Structures are given as C-alpha cells and as structure tokens.
Chain A
Amino acid sequence: MNEHKTIDQQSLDLINGGIDAELSTIEQEKLARLLAESSAAREINEELELFAQIMGELPDLDPPDYLQDAIERQIRLPAHSNAKADKQGLFDNWFSANWLRTGFALAAGLVLTVGVYEMGSQPITTQDATNLVGTVVKSQMTGEGELLDSVHVTTERLNGQVEIRNKDDLFSLDVQLISDGPAEVVVNFAGRGLEFAGIVQKQDRKDAVSVMDGSINVASSGEQNYTVMLRRTGATQEQESVPLRLEFFAGNALVYEAELDVSRQ
C-alpha cells in the first residue's frame, strides 16, 4: 500500500477506472502507457485485479425458498382498474356453469337473497330463511379484527387475494379479485363450527350468491370486492383447527385451491 505514495492521484484514478471497466478509449491508452512505464503502477494494478477477481469469485447466494411467497403474501396493491367495463348480460351466460348446480340467488346491489345450510346441521327452516332473505349486512367488521391468514391467487384468468380476520366470534373473509370473465369463489365452511352470517358488497353491482351444504358460492366477473361474514357456533377445538377450504373457478374450470387457517391465536 505504501507504493501509492509514489504515483499521483490521476494515475490511481486511471488504475481504478480500468479495474472497474469505466475508462474511455483514450483513458485506456493512457493506462496502458502508465502500466508500461511504472512498476509501482503495475504493482497496484495487479493488487487491484486480484482483489476484483476475489470479489468476483464470491458466489451469489440463493434467497430462501419461502422468500418470494412471503413477500407476495404481504404486498397490497391498489384495486385493479382495467376490468372489462361491459358486464351487462353476463349472468345470462352463467346459468350453465357448474356452480349453479347447487342453486343460486341473485343479489341486487346491497340486498342479497341468501339461503343457508350448514353441513351436519338441520336444513334451514322457513323461519331461518325468512330471517335471512333480504338481509343487508352492516360492515361491522370489514377490514377490522386480527388478520389470521391470507391467500393470493395468481392465475391467467383470475387474480387477487382473500384475507380472513377474526374479532370475537365473527370471521370476515375479505375478497378482492379480478377476472377476465365469469369467476366464482367457493368457501367450504362445513364441519368447522361456523355459520354464514352475511355478505357485504363493496361495489354497487350485481353478483350471484348461494349458500348451501356448508359452502358459500359467490359468482362475479371483472373486479370483485366483497366480504363474507362467518360466525363461530360453539365449535370444538378440533373443529377450530380445520382450515377453511377455498376453490376458485374461472369460467367452469377450477383454477386454484387454497386453505385459510381459522384457528385463533
């Protein structure tokens, strides 16, 4: 290192610039002359070349396998805005969709018509149905409560995320999806000690909602933004540990399956 005192700063800059491949053609020629004439410059150059070589030989590390997924799960993006604008008549094409085999109810704006069954329990009574028909669920919990789990859907035709939150006995499933065409989310809550408690539409639009046999089907198209509410009904510890199963359909095809952990900390 002491040899540096024997060459000037300009020469040192040239040598470093050469090591970093940052020299112009003229500067490269100057460097070549310098190295030919000065043994001190050559020595410094060799040291720096060795240093750069050692640094270059250090391998890139592979990020942990979980990293990309962990990052993506936490990222929130603005609501998708390039959904197809024309959704008129869309539901006409859905009547043949496989989800309709379990029945459907059309919801207009915030007013939803909902029928409820829960697996393992008695079929819904007339009284129950009457109580639920036309229910407008208040957004008493949407976006609130402890975030328990989330899932991100990234497929060719359907993208978005679903988050589940918990507050007291209420669970909210916040669904934000975007699809190029008809899409459906099926939430299977049977056997988890949960009951359907309502749905909050965050858009003024028409979606189809059906709740039967321990599953909730919400069918829509384009941008979807709604919250499904579930209520705990004296579940056993074993039931609480069973995750919610979600199925995502685009058109009639199952494009993604996921599970959400509903066990409270």
Chain B
Amino acid sequence: MMKKIGIILMSFLCVVFLSNSWADKDINIEVKTGIHGVGVHESKVKVGEYDVLNIGVQPDISFFLNGKINDLYFSGSGTYYEEEDQQYSASVDIKRYLTQEFTYYRFKHWLDHDPLTNLYAAATTGTNVIPPLVTYTDIESGRDYSIVRSERESKTTLRIPLELPFELKTFFNYRTEARWGERQALTMSKCSACHVVSRSKRIDEYTEDYNPGFIATYRSKKARVSFSYEYLDREFRENAMAPENYYDRAVHPGSGSNVFDDRVQYQNTKLPYAHSPRSRKYSHIVKLDSYVPSLSTGMFIGSVYSETENKEEDLKFNLKTIFTRLSSAMIPGLSFNVHFRYLDLANQSIFVDTNEPVSNAGTNAGHTWADPSHGGTYNTIDPDFTRNSAMSRRQYEVGLDMVYLLMKGITLRGSYEWREIKRDHYYVTSNDKETKEHRAKLAINARFKPPVIERPIRATLTYKYKSIDAPFANVKAAFKGETTITSNGAFSGTQYWELHEMRNLTLTNLPTLTHEIRFDTTVPVYDRLSVTAFYRWIEEKNKAVEWANKTHMPSLSIWYAPLDKLSFTVSYLYKYGKTNSLLCVPVYDG
C-alpha cells in the first residue's frame, strides 16, 4: 500500500516538474492524484455491480495530455483507480505517414450466487406430505463470484510514401481480451434435475485478434473511389480446467433399486461439465466505396466471408454476406438510400451417437432400451440422431430510406425494409421454415420559433411499424387437448419420447405486429429555463399465441439557472410495462 502511494506520488511530482520544462512547447497536460476510501454494508454484488469496492483507503491517479513536437502529434489519457479498475489510451501521428493508437481497460463485474433454495418449492407439509423431489447441493455456499475483464488494442496505420496515382494505406490491428475470475456452474444428476449441484468454475479466457489490411483511394474532381481489404484471425481459448462432478448411480427414489441403468447416458462416474471449447475464426472483408460529386451520388459494396471452427469437436460454421447501398441527393431537398443485403449462414450438422448401455438386471436384463427383442411391449425409437442447426439460413433484405426537406426547419424522414429468412432445417410453423418481415418508419423533425417564446424549439415525432409472418417459434412447444396414456410401468407404458411427440402447439414470445410512437422536444422557455419532454409507447402482439406486450415511457427534464452562480437540473422518468402470455404446465418434470 505504501509502495503504491509512493509510486503514484512520485508520478504526480514528475509530471508537475517535467511540465514546467515544456512551458514553451505546444503541450497540454492535466494530472490528478488523490485517495479514496470505501465502506460497504451488507451485500456489495448489486450496489456496486461494476465497482471494485475494496474496503479501506487506496490512492489513485489520472492524467490527460496532448501536444505537438515538430511534425509529431500525440495525445494520451489514463486512470488508475484500483488494481482491477484502470483505463489508458494513447495516440501518435508522425507526419501523417504513421499513426499509432493504443487502448487498454480493465474492470470488475460482480456476479450473483443462486442459493437454489427455490427447488424445494414443490415440497409440501401437512396432511399430504410431499418430500422435496428435487434436491440440491451448493458446494461453496455463500461464495462471492466475480469476473475481471480486460482488453488491450493496438492500431497501426502506415501511408505508403510512394508516388502512385492513388493513395495507399496499410494497417495492422492487434487486440487481446482476457476474462478471469470465478462464476457459478450448475449441473444436474439423473432424470431431469432430481439433484442439482452448484460448484465454482474458474474462468481464465483469452481472445487474440490479428487484423491486417489495406485501403487504396483514388481522388479526382470527377470521382472518389476507395477499395479496401482486411483479414481477421481470431482465437479463443479457456485456460482453466472445467469443474468435475460425480454423477450418482440412477436408482429409483422410492425403492432404491437400480432400474434405470439402460436409460441413462452416464452414472457412477466423475465427468467434467461447463466446458468452453477452443475456437478459431478467419474472415475476409472487402469493400468498394465510390462517390461522384457532380451527381451527389455514392455507391457502396461490401462482402464478408468468415469461417468459425470449434477446435475440439471439428465443427464449423461459415458466413457469406454481401451488402450494397446506393445513396443520392440529386433531387434538391431529397436524399435517399437504397440497400440490399444477402446472407448465407451454414452451421455444420453433427451426428449424435448416444451411449446405449445394456441393462444388468430386471425386466430388461441383457438388452439396451432400444432393443425390442426382450419381450417388452413399449414403443421404441433409435436414440441416435443428427443435430441440424436452426442457425443455418439464407437471408435477403431490401430497404429504402428517404429524407425530404418539407420547408425551412421541417424535415420528413421515411423508410421501408423487407426481410426474408429461409432456414435450412428449422420449422417455424407446421409446414414452413421461412420468416418474412416488413418494417416501416415515418418521422418528422422540426426546428422552429413559435410566436410567444421567440426561441428555437426542437421536436421530433416518429412512428414505427413492424409486421412479421411466422416469427421464430417452437412447433412442438406444448400439448393442448385430451389424450390417453398407458401407465403400466416402464416397459409396457407410454414412454417419455411419446409424450414429447404428442406436443401439438406452436408457441413463441415474439410478436407478429408492432407499433411504436416516440416524441421528444426541447423548449428553451427563457435564457435560464429549458424543458425537455420525451414519450415512448410500444405495443406488440401475437394473436395466434395470445401474447401481447405494452410499454409506456414518459419523462420530463427541467434545467433552471436563477442566478449566474446557481443552476438546478430536475428529471423524472416513468416506465410501465405489461406482458400477457400463456403458461405451460409442466408434466413429467422430474
């Protein structure tokens, strides 16, 4: 602690001393140093979620500088508040040929610790006692969890000093991101969460980016054209070991007999869980941007190809996208953009070869569950399956934006966008894999002087509309109706997979229709009094699933300065929201 105080004090004095020798140079510097003391009562997880809140007294320092020495321009800033709360930035420009930027930050995030006591909510006492059928063990009960996050980024740009018909710049960006600390990791043992276990999981994640590229720009009186290419190589790895859990033997909770051995994937063994796999991403980004001043029109085309790979399971997903936009202000008073986007996302399918243990004893002895030759009368399926991804899709988007100057001080804005998502494998209705969206927006911006106030008032009124046909949904979300099940034991009764297949209701919590109105205005009533009002109303509906959401958000701010030396600011914000939704009653939930 004394060492830290000494270092910070010496740094402050050095800056003060050195700045005196820079008095005749074009350099500005500001430095602050001091101490801060912290006291905390009860829990600090919520009251200071993103604060370090170390109890006691700590020194701190911050600085800001900018300046110029000959053809070298530089600037920098930094704050050291706590060991886990720092940020720095610096930039250097040498004769406009070489620019270098550097940023670094680090902060702490406190996380919750779920005590799991709600799992006993299904238990009852009294006449008909139901013991807790879902139990839990919190290995490190009451432990505080937090993650420290840091990012370091360097950007280097070099303008090639050659006599070329165009300007050529190359750049190299490097970034690392690290997260370390502990968080809670939960796992379940046996038959849909009969026993939930909580353990601490160490986090030691590291992401590293290499991002080189170039930009070539041609300029003339007739046109400006710019072409750029960049490559990104990103690697993510988790250096901490995954926690391990002992998965109990799956015995009947009442009799204690070993009757589930042919129907569980693993038991009576220690296995890792909550593991974050190592991944690698490569991407190529190409852009072409042009502008013709005589036509006040510009054209942009961009394309991205990327490949992301799970290095531990040899799984990949590829992304290909192309985006193009035409912008023009040829017609006086009117400017518009038209854009088109195509996206193709392909996520690899994987064949899941499930573990099919052979039963040791009981009715199914010597057989797997899926083997019908033992004499049982239940219906079986092949438990192996191919996991196709709901991410895989092709997406098309076309949009138009316009801004029109109605009269002096009043602008009308309008936009329309059509989007279609065609999924490769995932159904969003019983027979359709496509989602279609229409989005429209209309807004008016006004800046005018009303007669009484005689000061410029600014006001904006916006209306947004969205219509979505077949939003993302689960087509086997729930069962509605009546049915008959056979309850003659595990080997002649209705099976769990048959109950799942009976589900006949498509449900979602996404709307098919959205309306939004937004209004804000600032009124400078007097030189010393200003009022800002804001209102937002959102209504979302999906009649097919009886889902609806409404939100109101008005707010008012007043700034008043009765004297030159005294000013007040008062604001009030109210938010009201209501959501109506269906409730699914769980059956066979463990």
A binds B: no
User: Which residues of chain A have a CB within 8 Å of any CB of chain B?
Assistant: none
User: Which residues of chain B have a CB within 8 Å of any CB of chain A?
Assistant: none
